Amino acid sequence: MLVDRHYATDVEDPAQVRAMPVVLRIERSAPPSRTDVLEAAAAAAVAVCLDERALPGGEWHDEVVAWVRGRIRKVSRRARGAHWEAVQALPGVTITVGTASARAFVPGRVADLPKELSRLQISGSELPPDEPGAVPPGAYELWLNPRVEMTAGKAAAQVGHASMLLAPRLSETGLKDWAEVDYRCAVRTPSPADWDELVARPGVVLVRDAGYTEVAPGTATVAVNHRFA
């Protein structure tokens, strides 16, 4: 079900555009670290896709399949306080990492977005860079392209794409182990030289953005730092 990104230029019917909303909890009084936000978003996105409710016969299955068969968009929004609490009632998965929480929702038509989500701001999801610690046990490293500037909201969507592209490359045992640590990811920014070495590897899992916002179509934004057997 989880497939590669594509960035076709054919015209879409705006009424049929589908996306996965991802809401980042950013409280004004105690903002989370950027790294924690990105790691929570990456885990939440893949958690929705691998949830048992997304399997054939599950209540989320048809919506997830319809989304994956089209253009795999994610739209990040920010929420705090009562607005964050309100979206917890909508179908999705919340993941908390350190100081941050993110909730990914069952994808659907943008035109049908519930008001609890549509009222949330897309822009302004910016957080300063931070110094992440060691990679946690069981986590997969997602490397951000050091030559590409992205807001925290944009980067959250990109690492969500990366975690989805990673999942089909794992064995059944690997997926089970990953699920046991809540699909833990470690988002890092490598040196340009290390990035170049990684993306030159055969079979590297690489996100190329569709170019709807912030970056040009086909831009490599995130790569998975893992050697597959």
Looking at the structure of the chain, the number of domains it has is: 1
What pLDDT does residue 229 have? 60
CA–CA separation, 175 vs 166, rounded Å? 10
In a domain, 70, yes or no: yes
3-state secondary structure of 3: coil
CA–CA separation, 96 vs 45, rounded Å? 12
Instruction: Identify whether the C-beta of residue 95 lies closer than 8 Å to the C-beta of residue 183.
Output: yes
Instruction: Identify whether the C-beta of residue 165 lies closer than 8 Å to the C-beta of residue 220.
Output: no
Domain residues for the domain of 152 are: 17-125+133-224
- Could you tell me which residues come within 8 angstroms of residue 5 by beta carbon, excluding any fewer than 6 positions away? 72, 161, 165, 207, 208, 209, 210
Q: Which parts of the chain have pLDDT scores under 50?
A: 1, 3-9
In a domain, 47, yes or no: yes
What pLDDT does residue 124 have? 67
In a domain, 92, yes or no: yes
3-state secondary structure of 24: strand
pTM, rounded to two decimals: 0.93
